[in-house]
Amino acid sequence: MLAWQRTGFHFQPLKNWMNGPLYYKENYHFFYQYNPEGAVWGNIVWGHAISKDLINWEHLPIALSADEWYDINGVWTGSATILPDGQIIMLYTGYTNASVQVQNLAYPSDPSDSLLIHWSKYSGNPVLVPPPGINVHDFRDPTTAMLTTEGKWRINIGSKVNRTGISLLYDTADFKTYELQDGFLHAVQGTGMWECVDFYPVSVTENIGLDFSEQGTAVKHVLKASFDDDRNDYYAIGIYDEAGRKWVPDHGDLDLGLGWRYDYGKFYASKTFYDEKKTRRVLWGWIPESDSENADISKGWASVQAIPRTILFDKKTGMNLLQWPVEEVEELRSKSWEVNNVVVEAGSVVPLDLGPSSQLDITAEFEIGKEAVETLISSHHDQKEKSYSCAGSGGAADRGALGPFGLLVVADKTLSEQTPVYFYIVKSKDGNLTTHFCTDILRSSAAPDVDKTVYGSTVSVLDGEKLSVRILVDHSIIESFAQGGRTCITSRVYPTKAIYDDAKLFLFNNATKANVVASLKIWEMESADIHDSSSSTSLAIPRVNFLGYMLPTNLLLSFCILFSLVRYL
């Protein structure tokens, strides 16, 4: 059953193939796309779980089933809006008996029930069908509604026209009848179908999250889309003109598909919600599998949710977002180790004797001597290093003057299995230094049917900043956050040797010219409590002596993380 690949503190249903949270009456609610019949895509309904802290979860009965003509082929992604009177409005995409994507309305059967167990579908569904010129298969994933200054509610729906990705705009007064707005909120040629569109404000002056309808001179708006063509999540930051019904990116060369991604690894179909409890914007993303479908069927489950992340505007660069694991995950920290000012010589590996290293929270800082940096700047370096990219490289085995260096996680003692998370500093074509942040899964597993690649991108390092990284290791998931979350990489690995007691941690420096100095703080992580209230079955996973444990068959995690929330008081 490959039980050692199941995570300890990332959200998963009990079994099968498994979208986002809202906060209501002191509970976080997560509704997700779920296949109750198998570990592959299909038979999609809405699973439901609740939490007090976004880390420990209790599974509840299925919220919405595929039982009407307008959703018989699937209850797909949607979003939640809470109205001023406290009423919850759910809009979701249904796949009809004629294979048409339509938008439907649902609401709690009993709003006084804090668990929101029972849901009713509007008798007049569907409330939206594809407009003229839009393919019936390219009309999905409504956003949380924004309240306009005219007192109407405005939603976005993802689509495309030929190869141009678009965001359609609709206004409504009652969520039952809708008015299609002229043009598009935004469109980018050559990007294909936009799924799971998300549109939300960020403060450029304060370190807090904003509700969906916030506007003003100290506010910018983030537009994000999941590109169906390459299964990556792209975002851009810009200015929203509510009256003109348009959004314009701050930098045209950083428009959707041209610039930033939320994550440069396995991370897709994400969405944010406003957490009024802690005045923050929270992002959740879906981590798909990268092994074969047969392997998923064999182990009985597929995919997992990333750790929820807070979202802030990076005031230091003024150009990008910062993502960071929600503070609640730190409650799982237990035994800790601290290592300071370790010199890692060029071409060396340093073992860190921590014991089992399959569930860890790691923070690390690296420094390089000024002399080595100045030497690289003044030298005539070859074209290969000038044009370096993580994805186009040989991973951590490549060697340059100032990299790669970092950590080997989920590694066995012989290093036959290892996942390097590292920095690589190169001299760019313009003569300046560029820092790359990468994760190499080329040697992460001995399994034959696993996609193995090198993930990553560049990361901005400002004057006076040390190179820093935080890494969450959870058996088969590695989430890495460089420079306070300017660049993030989520990796799906399938170790066969580096498991439980045999999972080790190392520092490494494969540079040819420079030593690095490393300081680390490392915590062993407890497992989260994720259980099914109806069966009292807990998913908390022991970290050792687990090889004989058999998980139930069949599991699915979500496609578009579905629920964002807005509350208007």
Give the 3-state secondary structure of 337-394.
EEEEEEEECCCEEEEECCCCCCEEEEEEEEEECHHHHHHHHHCCCCHHHHCCCCCCCC
The model's pLDDT over 112-140, given as tens digits with 9 standing for 90+, comes to 999 999 999 999 999 999 999 999 999 99
Is residue 228's pLDDT more than 90?
Answer: yes
Predicted confidence (pLDDT) at residue 568 exceeds the cutoff of 70: no
Q: What is the pLDDT of residues 303-316, one digit of tens each?
A: 789 999 999 999 99
Task: Please say if the pLDDT value at position 223 is more than 70.
Answer: yes
When pLDDT is averaged across residues 449-478 and rounded to a whole number, the result is 95
Q: What is the dihedral of CA 443, 446, 449, 453, to 10 degrees?
A: 0
Residue 14 has a pLDDT of 57
Percent of the chain residues past pLDDT 70, beyond the cut = 87
Query: Closest by alpha carbon to 457, among 489, 495, 415, 410?
Result: 489
Q: Is the confidence at residue 31, as pLDDT, over 60?
A: yes
**Per-residue confidence (pLDDT) for residue 98, from 0 to 100:** 98
- Answer whether residue 557 shows pLDDT above 80: no
Confidence of residue 42 (pLDDT cuts 50, 70, 90): low
Q: What is the SS3 assignment for 427?
A: strand
d(CA 552, CA 156): 39
- Here the tokens at position 170 are 């609709």
Q: List the single range of 226-240, 378-392, 415-429 with lowest mean pLDDT.
A: 378-392
Predicted confidence band of residue 412 (pLDDT cuts 50, 70, 90): very high
In 3D space, the residue among 127, 131, 140 whose CA is nearest the CA of residue 95 turns out to be: 140
Q: What is the C-alpha separation between 531 and 537, in angstroms, rounded?
A: 5
Does position 545 have pLDDT exceeding 50, yes or no? no
Specify the pLDDT at position 18.
Answer: 40
pLDDT exceeds 80 at position 542: no
pLDDT in tens, 262-287: 999 999 999 999 999 999 999 999 99
Distance (Å, whole) CA 443 – CA 380: 32
pLDDT at 447 (0 to 100): 83
Helix (H, G, I), strand (E, B) or coil at 564: coil
What is the per-residue pLDDT for 17? 42
pLDDT at residue 26 greater than cutoff 50: yes
Cis omega (within 30 of 0) on the bond before 126? yes
Distance CA 87, CA 37 (A): 32
| The pLDDT of residue 550 is above 50 | no
- Please give the average per-residue pLDDT across 527-548, as a whole number: 51
Percentage of the chain modeled with pLDDT above 90: 73
Q: Which residue has the tokens 């989520």?
A: 490
Least confident range of 66-75, 194-203, 384-393, 434-443 = 384-393
Q: Is 471 left (phi over 0), alpha (psi -120 to 50) or beta?
A: beta
Residue 544 has pLDDT above 50, yes or no: no
Q: Which residues contact 201 (CB under 8 A, 6 or more apart)?
A: 210, 211, 212, 213, 214, 215, 219, 220, 221, 222, 240
Lowest-confidence region among 77-81, 113-117, 238-242, 295-299? 295-299
CB 526 within 8 A of CB 355: no
Q: Are 22 and 285 in contact (CB under 8 A)?
A: no
Q: Which of the two residues, 563 and 528, has the higher pLDDT score? A: 528
Give the C-alpha separation, 46 to 50, whole Å.
Answer: 13
Distance CA 240, CA 52 (A): 34
More confident residue, 14 or 465: 465
Q: What is the pLDDT of residue 289?
A: 85
Summarize the confidence of residues 358-385 as an average pLDDT.
80
DSSP 8-state symbol, 56: S
**pLDDT at residue 199 above 50?**
yes
Residue 5, pLDDT score: 60
The pTM assigned to this predicted structure is 0.91
pLDDT of the residue at 35: 76
Give me the residues paired with residue 485 across strands. Answer: none
HSE of 503 in the Cβ direction (CA atoms, 13 Å)?
A: 25
Mean predicted lDDT score pLDDT of the chain: 88
pLDDT at 507: 98
The predicted pLDDT at position 307 comes to 96
Backbone angles phi, psi at 396, to 5 degrees: -70, -10
pLDDT value for 62: 92
Q: What is the reported pLDDT for 6? A: 67
User: In this model, does residue 436 exceed pLDDT 80?
Assistant: yes
Is residue 377's pLDDT more than 90?
no
pLDDT, average across residues 524-548: 57
Q: Residue 533's pLDDT is what?
A: 66
Q: Which of 27-31, 327-331, 382-386 has the lowest mean pLDDT?
A: 382-386
